[in-house]
Amino acid sequence: MKEEHISSVFDRELEGIQAQIMKMGGLVEEAIRLGVKSLETRDEELARHVREGDRQIDDLEHQITERAARIIALRGPTAIDLRLILSVIKISGNLERIGDYAKNMGKRTGALSQMAPVGDSGASIRRMTRMVEAMLKDALDAYIERDAVLAADVIARDEDVDQIYNALFRELLTFMMEDPRNITACMHLHFIAKNTERMGDHVTSIAEQVTYLVTGQHPDEDRPKADTTSSTTEA
């Protein structure tokens, strides 16, 4: 009876920590959506809301990490349960980074709202963010459903995000060379585009954690990246 009681408490703890992951994922999805909306509408108040909302995402990541560490220390989980807990820690870390990138988008809205639009770059960024948001939704669904096939689909779609980023990077370079007055706005837009591309990488990492959780194996480490620009350019 005592062992059954301990087991039920452990199960509730696992359910609780996974519920926090889904709450965190929902907040990050909203941050992406509102971040790009603030950019499109040049809504500085909405951008401020995105920046301030990142605090809640950070707090959840901290709570999840502490809770997971406590479970490992006190419950002595089996190999399968340990795999779940370690995946939760890594997924929460990825979500926290995605939230940071969404916050950075909000930070640049104020500066860009004072500048003239540059070409059709806003549409490309909007496409990228919508793709990343859809990927994140599917990655979280794959996590809940333990669906390795859906996770693999998410991983494959990251290449499309990279290709849009590459095209936009070249377009922004052209605008800067054609008119030096575009340089400041283009630099802001490039950092936003690069941050969005990095969001896609972190979503891919979440999907890879799902694969590991379901199969016990990580996808190939040498996954090709379609981003042909410098991998170190981040805001």
pLDDT in tens, 122-139: 888 999 999 999 999 999
Q: Which helix (H) or strand (E) element contains residue 190?
A: helix 183-215
Counting as low any pLDDT under 50, the low residues of the chain are 1-6, 231-234
Q: Say what the pLDDT of residue 43 is.
A: 83
Could you give the CA distance from residue 215 to residue 10 in angstroms, rounded to a whole number? 22
pTM to 2 decimals? 0.86
In CATH, 2-215 is 3.90.470.20 = no
Q: What is the DSSP letter of 218?
A: P
- Give the residue extent of every domain in the chain: 2-215
What pLDDT is stored for residue 134 in this prediction?
96
Cβ atoms within 10 Å of 112's Cβ, excluding its own: 21
- Alpha-carbon distance values, 213 to 4, 12, 39, 118, 135 (Å): 25, 19, 36, 43, 18
High-pLDDT (> 90) share of the chain, %: 54
* Size (the chain), residues: 235
CB-count burial class (<10 Å; 0-12, 13-18, 19+) for 202 = buried
The answer to whether residues 119 and 173 touch, using CB atoms and an 8 Å cutoff, is no
pLDDT tens for 45-69 read 888 899 998 999 999 999 999 999 8
